[in-house]
Each structure stands twice: as C-alpha cells, then as structure tokens.
Amino acid sequence: MTSPTKADYRRMHDEENAEFSSYLHSLKADDWERPSLCEGWRVRDVVGHILYGNELKLWTLPLRLARYGFSSDKSGKAYSIARAEGRSTDQLLHDFDTREAWAGTCKVFPPKLVLVDRLVHHQDIRRALGQPRVIPAVRLAAALDATPTLGSVFGAKARTTGLRLQASDLDWSWGGGAVVEGPGEALLMAMLGRRAALDDLSGDGLDAFAARV
C-alpha cells in the first residue's frame, strides 16, 4: 500500500473528527462526568483538551508553559481541564462542532500526529465507557504506521524498540524481535501508553512491552 500523503492524513483526520462529533452527541449527560483513560481527566476534560489545542494562540505558549515549570504535560492538563470547567455539555458540543479544526497547535504539528491524537482521544472515551467501535482499516493502519515514527512525542518509538508488533485483524506489522500480537486498535492504544489495552494483547514480547507502557 502506498504511504499516505499529508493530504491523506488531513482527510482521515477530518473523517475521524466527524465520527468523534457524532459519538459525543450520542452520550448521556452523566457520561460526560465519568473518567476517561487519560489519568485525571473526565470525558468533558478530553473534549476540553481538544478545544484548548485548537484555540491556543501559539505566541502565548511560552508563558503558559512557564506557569507550570515548563512541563507540557502539567500545563496541558491544567488548561484542558480549565477549558471544560463551568461549561455545559451543549456549549462543549457547540464549540467542538464549530471550531477551526486545523488551527492552534494543529496548524504546526504534522497531519499524521494530529490524526493519531484525535483517534486516540476518541478511543480514550469509548474504551472507558465500554462502547467499542470498528475503526476503518485504512485509517487505523495509517495511524499505526505513523505512531512509532513520531519520535518522543508520544513515546511509542521507545516502547516498540526491539519488538515486532503484529495486528491480528488487519495486514499490519512493525519492527523486529519478540512478538506482541493483538487487534490493531489495542496495539495503537498500548503504543500510546494506555495500559488498559494490554489485556487484549499476547505474545512472547508482551512482558517487555508492558514494562514500557
């Protein structure tokens, strides 16, 4: 299969974003207050994170980071929660649907990174709420291919070094060494640090992989 272009990644992101929106509109009121797979984040905070990233004025980023000891994790978590706090579900849905999807950090990050980020946060909510879906195979394979190539952004490269990841439900594999096998979605989530996905995986490389997740 030909490697996706930047335009392909942008198109797949927009498709993922539309499906994410439809899913958010289907949630019950109390679902928004339930925890997601992101530690310390409710479902509404995950949505706040996406809105914060799209709305961020890049020139304000150094000051925002400085307030939290130049920790991008601490800064991002605080501002994402603040973006969701005090806003109704209807307000968050309206903002999600009307925001400029390729603004803020999405304007400067590679499209493949933006696709991976959007997809994993969609799954952060679905998995936490016990509401799985079938991700289109082409989109999932593109995200799987992209994730280990993103350097230290998500930590996937370090987690997969010396291992062979093999999807059981689509024609995809990565790397070489002891095998970690399972559904493509579970491999993606585990590469991105979601330990909940490890239960869906197997293979002689699983223990080594799990120690890195």
Instruction: Point out the domain boundary residue: 92, 110, 129.
Output: 129
Q: Which long-range contacts (CB under 8 A, 24 or more apart) does 27-30 make?
A: 27/129, 29/89
Domain that holds residue 186: 137-212
pLDDT class of 66 with cuts at 50, 70, 90: confident
Per the structure, how many domains does the chain have? 2
Cα(136)–Cα(74) distance, rounded to whole angstroms? 33
Q: Are residues 194 and 147 located together in one domain of the fold?
A: yes
With beta carbons less than 8 A apart as the criterion, state whether 101 and 54 touch: yes
- 1 within domain boundaries: no
Q: Are residues 13 and 85 located together in one domain of the fold?
A: yes
- 108 within domain boundaries: yes
pLDDT at 75: 73
pLDDT class of 59 with cuts at 50, 70, 90: low
What mean pLDDT is reported for the chain?
92
